[in-house]
A and B are shown apart, each in its own frame.
Chain A
Amino acid sequence: MAMKGKWHFAALLTVAPVLLLSLSLCISSTMAQTAKETYKIGTIFSLTGSFANVGSMQQRAIALEIERLNSKGGIKGQRIEHISYDDQSQAETAGLLVKKLAKQDKVSVILGPTGAWTIMPIKPVIQQMKIPDIASGAITINPGDKYLFNLVVGVEMGIEVYMNFAKQRGWTQIVSLQTMDDVGDRATASLKSLATKYGIQVVGEERFNTQDKDITPQLSKIKAAKPQALMSWCSGDAAVLVYKNMRQLGMDIPYMPSGGAASSRFFKLIGDVPKENLLFTLGGKLQVLDSVPDSDPVKAAGLEFRQMYMAKFNAPPENLEAVAWDLTAMAVNAMKAVGTNPEKVRNYIENIKMSGLQASYVMTPNDHNGVDKNSVIMLMGLGNKWQVVAK
């Protein structure tokens, strides 16, 4: 009994200093944490599932850019932490991840997801969590969506750039061939109204499924209307199919797909473009980096990013990656200016003026897309390359 008492005392004597030491360490580390801010960016993209193609490419571009920035000292010498989640191409998962990033990981801003189908359902969650989210999908942002921003050149804006160009070239009769989905509906409607605005007549209107294997029936109807150009807001395989079927039917008129078609992969699938004025698309600074004046700060960063991207992934960065880069740049600019508080970051982004690789942006409380129409560039496909069309 006396022995036990002695034993207890000895134990206490050894444990106590250890406890005191660890307690003091805890206190000092939390003090150290509040002294320096941790810059955290959360990203939600589809890394698996049916949209993994697009999502994984944007996520890796963002990861690379954050790595590049960190190698240059991050923000004010402090590393930027990138917390990346996979929404598995499901909207419900995306919603849960927004909550996790806001509440548990305590990020200052979320980048992504891609695509209207994932973004629309999570709008209320973003609002509820009061976390700013810069997304990359062609969605409409209402005045009430205070925390959501979107950097993609939307359907309406893209078509307006095309109509402007068509007017310059004197093409007065245009046909519309759109996909049978929400984007196609909006493209059909936009084209009708914008064409009238620019004095252009829409002489044919057809639709098709992105899964279709052959669009020659629709194209043959369109051909009979004798148009001067064809506008089809689609990308990827669908855009390739339209181009190929047009060649098959001998329709040598200009073809204007969406901005998303501007990729080197496009040329791999269509072969060489035989002559001028057959293929156009929309692009941004990324496609013309080498001819941007050296005084432009985006040029140096863009060139470095492009070099790192090529070295790591053995392929050039394209439209998707340009958008991803702009998402990152916007978030980083905001945090550099106002710190890590999500509310302050949101306020800063809402009034930001920034030049990026996809376009230049002027955000206002009424316009959370902010794309400057004049920063969107017309590109023409010739041979197996895209070249800038002189304005």
Chain B
Amino acid sequence: MFVQVLQFLISGLTLGAIYALIAFSFSLVFRTTRIMNIAQGEFSMLGGMVAIALIGLALPMFLSVLAAIVLVAIVGLIVERLVIRRVRTFPRMMIIMITIGLSMTIQGLAVVLWGQDSYLLPHLSGSDPIQVLGAAILPQTIWILGISAALSVLFWLFLDRTMLGLAMRASAENRLAASLVGINPIRVVQLSFVFGASIGALAGVLIAPIVFMNFISGVLLTIKGIVAAIVGGIDSNLGAVVGGLAVGLAESMAAGIFPSMYKDVIALLILLVVLCAMPKGIIRGSAR
């Protein structure tokens, strides 16, 4: 019984780590621009697919991963320049709609480039599971968890302690006031999207060995990522990781403890209860 529960926990951690990474890239863009980028999952999908394509061209693993992140960062740049910049001052709701359209465009591009098949990336350090007290954990999961934690720390430092990070958050909070003190709002959004796309791509590359990547993978990732970000507390530094783990554990526990027929219902119920009890997310974020 103990072994089973341990396995549920590990499954929850695996899923949770995946959702945390997506939530992270989503909340980064949100916290620095107040834009909800529904196409965020597509950046992850692109990261995974480009890396897979590059490996297919016989590039070494490390180079493919790096090149994929760089290429998707450039895509983020292009998206910002061509789309977001033009609609920067539109009402929030409209910008969200436009990002939905953006996600569909990227999906269409993916179909043209890679068709509709699913692909997997090779694991970073082999796919043999590690035995822990009778349960099995994949090395890739440990990578994902580790990198999520490292990213959280890095961006906490960036957003709370560096001039640039603080400037970005200021611009998100009050664009006019920020520009009056010399912060260029356009540059903020541009930088935010480049970061968001890069981290999204990193997430995609880390996930691609475990999760099948195809042209439509981005949609589900976006949904789970947004839920995780909100449940965890979108304005907090640790929110993405906590939220991701919460969603992942809810899913795996629901599947493990209850008859798996009802797992989705139960997982969503758990999340509903959490949100009702803590509407601002699990971590209430910095005091305002």
A contacts, CB < 8 Å to B: 50, 52-53, 180, 206-209, 211, 213-214, 216-218, 220-221, 224, 236-237, 240-241, 248-250, 265, 269
B252 at the binding interface (Cβ < 8 Å): yes
Q: Which of B113-121, B145-153, B231-239 contacts A (4 or more CB under 8 A)?
A: B113-121
Contacts of B3 in A (CB 8 A): 220
B117/A217 in contact, CB under 8 A: no
- 24 residue pairs A–B, Cβ–Cβ below 8 Å: A50-B216, A52-B116, A53-B117, A180-B261, A208-B260, A213-B15, A213-B211, A214-B15, A214-B210, A216-B8, A217-B7, A217-B252, A217-B253, A217-B260, A218-B260, A220-B3, A220-B7, A220-B11, A220-B135, A224-B4, A236-B118, A237-B212, A250-B136, A265-B117
Query: When chains A and B are docked, how far (Å) is the Cα of A237 from the Cα of B212?
Result: 7
Kindly identify which residue among B8, B15, B135, B260 contacts A207, using a CB–CB cutoff of 8 Å. B260
A217/B264 in contact, CB under 8 A: no
Chain A: which residue is nearest B116 at the CB level?
A53
Contacts of B117 in A (CB 8 A): 53, 265
Query: When chains A and B are docked, how far (Å) is the Cα of A52 from the Cα of B210?
Result: 25
Query: When chains A and B are docked, how far (Å) is the Cα of A11 from the Cα of B120?
Result: 75
Query: When chains A and B are docked, how far (Å) is the Cα of A316 from the Cα of B34?
Result: 51
Contacts of A208 in B (CB 8 A): 255, 260, 263
Query: When chains A and B are docked, how far (Å) is the Cα of A224 from the Cα of B10?
Result: 17
Chain A: which residue is nearest B118 at the CB level?
A237
B261/A214 in contact, CB under 8 A: no
B8/A217 in contact, CB under 8 A: yes
Contacts of B118 in A (CB 8 A): 236-237, 269
A220/B129 in contact, CB under 8 A: no
Taking chain B's interface residues, is the majority helix, strand, or loop, or is none over half, making it mixed? helix
Chain A: which residue is nearest B13 at the CB level?
A214
Query: When chains A and B are docked, how far (Å) is the Cα of A218 from the Cα of B135?
Result: 13
B261/A207 in contact, CB under 8 A: yes
Contacts of A249 in B (CB 8 A): 7, 129, 136
Taking chain A's interface residues, is the majority helix, strand, or loop, or is none over half, making it mixed? helix
1/0 contact string of B14-53 vs chain A (CB within 8 Å): 1100100000000000000000000000000000000000
B contacts, CB < 8 Å to A: 3-4, 7-8, 10-11, 14-15, 18, 116-118, 120, 129, 135-136, 138, 210-212, 216, 220, 252-253, 255-256, 260-261, 263-264
Query: When chains A and B are docked, how far (Å) is the Cα of A216 from the Cα of B248?
Result: 13
Contacts of B216 in A (CB 8 A): 50
Contacts of B10 in A (CB 8 A): 216
Chain B nearest CB, measured from A53 CB (Å):
4
Query: When chains A and B are docked, how far (Å) is the Cα of A109 from the Cα of B105?
Result: 38
9 nearest A-B residue pairs (beta carbon): A217-B256, A217-B255, A220-B7, A53-B116, A216-B11, A206-B260, A237-B212, A248-B129, A213-B211
Contacts of B211 in A (CB 8 A): 213
A248/B138 in contact, CB under 8 A: yes
Query: When chains A and B are docked, how far (Å) is the Cα of A237 from the Cα of B15?
Result: 17
Contacts of A206 in B (CB 8 A): 260
Chain A nearest CB, measured from B19 CB (Å):
10
A248/B261 in contact, CB under 8 A: no
Chain B nearest CB, measured from A44 CB (Å):
19
Contacts of A211 in B (CB 8 A): 220
Contacts of B138 in A (CB 8 A): 248
Contacts of B256 in A (CB 8 A): 217-218, 220-221
Contacts of B15 in A (CB 8 A): 213-214
Chain A: which residue is nearest B6 at the CB level?
A220
Contacts of A220 in B (CB 8 A): 3-4, 7-8, 11, 135, 256
Chain A: which residue is nearest B122 at the CB level?
A271
Contacts of A224 in B (CB 8 A): 4
B261/A269 in contact, CB under 8 A: no
Chain B: which residue is nearest A216 at the CB level?
B11
Chain B nearest CB, measured from A278 CB (Å):
16
Contacts of A53 in B (CB 8 A): 116-117
Chain A nearest CB, measured from B119 CB (Å):
8
Given contacts A216-B8, A217-B253, A248-B136, 9 further A-B contacts (CB under 8 A): A53-B116, A207-B261, A208-B263, A216-B252, A217-B252, A218-B255, A218-B260, A220-B11, A269-B120
A216/B261 in contact, CB under 8 A: no
Chain B nearest CB, measured from A268 CB (Å):
9
Query: When chains A and B are docked, how far (Å) is the Cα of A18 from the Cα of B116?
Result: 55
Given contacts A206-B260, A237-B118, contact A216 B7 (CB under 8 A): yes
Contacts of B264 in A (CB 8 A): 180, 209
Chain B: which residue is nearest A270 at the CB level?
B120
Chain A: which residue is nearest B111 at the CB level?
A52
Query: When chains A and B are docked, how far (Å) is the Cα of A224 from the Cα of B8?
Result: 13
Query: When chains A and B are docked, how far (Å) is the Cα of A224 from the Cα of B252?
Result: 17
Query: When chains A and B are docked, how far (Å) is the Cα of A216 from the Cα of B118?
Result: 21
Query: When chains A and B are docked, how far (Å) is the Cα of A52 from the Cα of B117?
Result: 10
Query: When chains A and B are docked, how far (Å) is the Cα of A208 from the Cα of B210?
Result: 17
B11/A217 in contact, CB under 8 A: yes
Query: When chains A and B are docked, how far (Å) is the Cα of A52 from the Cα of B11?
Result: 32
* Residue among B10, B14, B120, B260 with the highest chain A CB neighbour number at 10 A: B260
Query: When chains A and B are docked, how far (Å) is the Cα of A240 from the Cα of B118?
Result: 11
A214/B220 in contact, CB under 8 A: no
* Residue among B11, B15, B135 with the highest chain A CB neighbour number at 10 A: B11
